[in-house]
Amino acid sequence: MTSTGRLAPRLPSPLEEIRDDRFDRRGLRLLLKRDDLIHPELIGNKWRKLAPNLAAAGGRPLVTFGGAWSNHLRATAAAGRLLGLPTTGVVRGHELADRPLNPSLSRCAADGMRLHFVDRSAYRRKDEPETLAALLRAAGAEDAYVVPEGGSNTAAVRGCRDLGAELRGHADVVAVACGTGGTLAGLAAGLAPGQRALGVPVLRGGFLEGEVTALQERAFGARTGAWSLDDRFHFGGYARTGPELDAFAEDFGQRHRLPVERLYVAKLLWGLVALAEEGAFARGTAIAAVVTGRPFPAAP
C-alpha cells in the first residue's frame, strides 16, 4: 500500500442535491460536491492536491509555503504527522516570529511542522530560483521536497482532474472558489464536453486567469476545457469576510445543515446566489458547487 493509500480518502466524494428557493424559483438545480468529506484532516481540494505531491516526494521531508491562516499549511502538517514525514512551513510575515502563534499556526506546530517566518518582500519573490534557494537554506530544508503555496503545481493540477471526471454527466456548470487556481485548472480539464467550470477568486487583483492558463499549459500542454472566472465576490481579498458574508454563511448553514467555511466556500455560494439573481444561468441549468473545506474552529 502506498503512503497516500494509508490516509484512506473517501473517493469519489458525495454529490448531494439540495433545495433552495433562491435557485428553485429560477428553475435551477443546486448540487453540492462534498469534497469536505474526503478526509477528516486533509480536506477537499487539499487532498486532491497533496496526494500526488506526497507520492512524488517518495518519503522525503516536505517544505511548503503559506500565510498565517493557510489551510494548505495545516493540511501539509497533518499529512506529515499521519505519514511520519518531517514538514517545514515557510510563513509569510517575519513580524509574526515574535508573536504568539495564532490557532491555525498552533495546529501546524502541534502536528510537528517546523515554522520559518520570512519577510513579505522575500516571500513575494519565492518563485525566483535564487530567492527560493536562499529561503530553503535559511529554513534548513534544502533536501526537502518543495510543495508550492496552495499546493498548485503540475502534479496537483493533474490530481484535480479527477474532480472533473467525478462530475461528468451530473451538472452543466461546476463552480469552485479559487486561491492559487490549481483546483480550477484540473477540474476544467476533467469535465466532459458541454460542461463548463466557473471559478470564484477569493483574492483580489484580477491576475488569476493567467495563472490558471499557465498551470494548464504546464500540466496538459495547452489551455484545456471550458472555464471562466468571476472576480466580484472576494469581499476585499483573502481572509476578508465581514458581517454580511458571515450572516449569509450562517443562514445557508442553517437551511442546509452544512457548516460553511468562510474564506472560500461562503464566497463561492454568495457568488452563485448573486449570479442566479442576475439571471446568469438559463432555466434548467444544474449547478454543482464544490465544497472545498470546513470551518476552522478559531479562524477569523
Q: Nearest Cα to 292, choosing from 179, 203, 213, 172? A: 179
- 152 as an active site residue: the answer is no
CB-CB contact of 175 with 268 (8 Å):
yes
Residue with cell 480536506: 43
Rounded Cα gap, residues 141 and 121, in angstroms: 20
Residue 113 phi, psi (nearest 5): -75, 130
Pairing of strands 29-33, 15-18: antiparallel
Residue with cell 498565517: 68
Helix (H, G, I), strand (E, B) or coil at 293: coil
Neighbours of 103 (CB within 10 A): 13
Rounded Cα gap, residues 106 and 121, in angstroms: 24
Rounded Cα gap, residues 46 and 6, in angstroms: 16
Out of 70, 104, 121, 228, which one is annotated catalytic?
70
Beta bridge partners of 287: 30, 173
Helix axes 45-57, 154-166, angle to 10 degrees: 140
CB-CB contact of 47 with 182 (8 Å):
no
Rounded Cα gap, residues 193 and 44, in angstroms: 24
C-alpha dihedral, 95 to 245 to 203 to 296, nearest 10°: 50
**In this structure, is the dihedral angle defined by the CA atoms of residues 96, 72, 180 and 63, taken in order, positive or negative?**
positive
Catalytic positions, please? 70
